[in-house]
Structure 1
Amino acid sequence: MSDSAYTLIIGVDGGGTGCRAAIGTTRDGVLATAQGGRANASSDFELAIRNINATVSEAAAIAGLSEDRLSDASAHLGLAGVMTRRDGLRVSDALHFNKSIVTDDRTTALYGALGGKDGFLLSVGTGTIAAAKKGGVDKAVGGWGFQVSDQASGAWLGRKALEQVLLCHDGLAEHTNLTRALLSKFDSNPCKISSFSTNAKPGDFGALAPEIVAAARGGDQWARSIMQSGADHLLRCLEALEFQSGQPICMTGGVGPHYADYLPPMTLIGRQGCLGSALDGAFQLAKRAVVNTEEAAS
């Protein structure tokens, strides 16, 4: 049996709401998983590193592995907020694994969903991933961060809904049950919404998304309008990725599947279930790196 069969492997999926870690070996696969706090590398770098380390340590403890073994591990981390190679190196330098490959979360989400095969992915959670693999080549659009991008995401839904609340408060639009309910969360005080927005992270806005999705399902005018606007953006993303009706497409994330009701039926003819999650993708990419390294050395 080769040594790589016993190499400790770590996969991490990190975003604005939280992070997940999987730990195992090439031979045994995933031994344990754990969930932790936010791990967006650009929103709060130090917090992301603390949460990654804590979550990986928890996964190791669940697997019955000692903490000192982590320094021998090979890891692949797919993190929101990693925009450049320099960003990835900054993360890997802050960790203490033997080898760390750090990419943005689009890479791991795409690999997890499609298993390395061709197809399209709309992964919409706190952030938005619109990506495709065609002829073995990955391509993505958007994903430039919440401040200037991530349309249709849970964070975007939350912000758009609060914008609508303020328009309604100012008499520029009519209130609905959703806008009244959201305003009441802030003690019916628009100043508190403004104050919240100043320091809120994407995950804070994203925490409002379930209420918006539910209100849209119940027929709320503004909730449906916001969801339709998000769906229209996702459709433009697919067009930019040269998607054709009938091609394989996965919709995942906490919000992603809810957009199915707002997309043209022809878009969903080739819809299929995801083969795995972004965490699965991260773990499999870490495993592949170990195997490829061994094969190159032999």
Structure 2
Amino acid sequence: MTFYLGVDAGGTASKSRLVDQDGRVLGSGKAGPANARIGLDKLHGTLLDVCFQALREGGVDESLYGTVRVGMGIAGINRMGMKQQLQLLEFPFAHVQLTSDSMIANLGAHRGADGAILIIGTGSVGLVKRGEDSFSIGGYGFPISDEGSGAALGLSAIRHALRALDGRTRPTPLSQAVTQQFDHAIPKVIAWMDDAAPGDYASFAPLVMDYAETGDEIALSIVRDAAQHVERFIETILAKGATRCVLMGGLAERIKPWLRARIVEKLDEPLGDALDGALLFAGLPIATAARG
């Protein structure tokens, strides 16, 4: 018996899925952020945790861990030297394949075939796959990149809220809801900022979307700007020759209504999710994955 384990390690959360050689789902796991920015020791611990959760739920005895083939997609793995460092980490499995979270999302979205994705989650990145070649668009990391993402929405909300607090702009329900979390005190916002990660900024994204849907002036400007970035991403991806383009990520469905109809019409539905892609990357045959 060979087991296949897929891991999606992102900026906000990490997930895993265990299947048998026939593609039947046996177990799953979920943990906190597991991207390359949190430090190797912490990342290693989170990856092991989310793997062991799925294995325990699937009833796989520790003596069989050596039969498990693992595919991991890790946010930030393409940072200089990071993949080499991650490859030195020890795992008690038969084989561990490492790639980016965007690659496994692409594999899942198109069942391993050619195509492109645009992930709009904590961060943002486009990935185009053509045969054995692939290339990304954007995704250089927050705050210099990740346009249209949850982290970018949260950063804009914090900036507008601070301007409202010191009188440079008129307060709105959104700015008040944001600053209320800091007791409307600028020093508390600054203290939070010193240790805030992209996921912390992205935690404000649902609030921004909620207030935009009720017509809040600041929220509307933030979301409209984000939508323009997403549209430009999609147009660039299609101009690069992608035959299919799928919008994915935690913010995908919420941002879609803000896109122009002619842009949305060019998008395709995903054939699977990132964990499906991770399982394919682990070596699960495509035909088996389709049955599962």
Q: TM-score, normalised by structure 1?
A: 0.88
Q: 2:99 is matched with which residue?
A: 103
1:182 to 157, 178, 185: 178
Alignment check: 8 A CA contact 1:21 1:55 kept: yes
1:272 to 241, 245, 268: 268
The one-letter code of the counterpart of 1:200 is: A
Q: 2:120 is matched with which residue?
A: 124
Q: 1:81 is matched with which residue?
A: 76
Task: From the superposition, tell whether residues 86 and 102 of structure 1 become closer, same or farther in structure 2 (CA, over 3 Å).
Answer: farther
Alignment check: 8 A CA contact 1:245 1:267 kept: no
In structure 2, runs of 5+ residues without a counterpart are 288-292
- Residue 278 of structure 2: SS of its match in structure 1? helix
1:226 to 222, 243, 266: 222
1:112 to 108, 119, 143: 108
Q: 1:294 is matched with which residue?
A: none
Alignment check: 8 A CA contact 1:22 1:34 kept: yes
The one-letter code of the counterpart of 1:60 is: L
Q: 1:214 is matched with which residue?
A: 210
Number of corresponding residues: 286
The one-letter code of the counterpart of 2:87 is: S
Q: 2:41 is matched with which residue?
A: 46
- Residue 203 of structure 1: SS of its match in structure 2? helix
Task: From the superposition, tell whether residues 101 and 135 of structure 1 become closer, same or farther in structure 2 (CA, over 3 Å).
Answer: closer
Task: From the superposition, tell whether residues 133 and 246 of structure 1 become closer, same or farther in structure 2 (CA, over 3 Å).
Answer: closer
Would you say 1:93 and 2:93 are equivalent positions?
Answer: no
The one-letter code of the counterpart of 2:20 is: T
Cα RMSD, aligned residues only: 2.4
Q: CA deviation at 1:134?
A: 4.1
Provide the C-alpha distance between the structure 2 equivalents of 1:175 and 1:16, rounded to a whole number of angstroms: 30
Provide the C-alpha distance between the structure 2 equivalents of 1:252 and 1:261, rounded to a whole number of angstroms: 14
Q: 2:54 is matched with which residue?
A: 59
Would you say 1:31 and 2:13 are equivalent positions?
Answer: no
Q: CA deviation at 1:22?
A: 1.2
Q: 2:149 is matched with which residue?
A: 153
- Residue 30 of structure 2: SS of its match in structure 1? strand
2:249 to 232, 248, 253: 253
Greater Cα offset, 115-124 or 251-260: 115-124
The one-letter code of the counterpart of 1:176 is: T
Greater Cα offset, 52-61 or 248-257: 248-257
- Residue 27 of structure 2: SS of its match in structure 1? strand
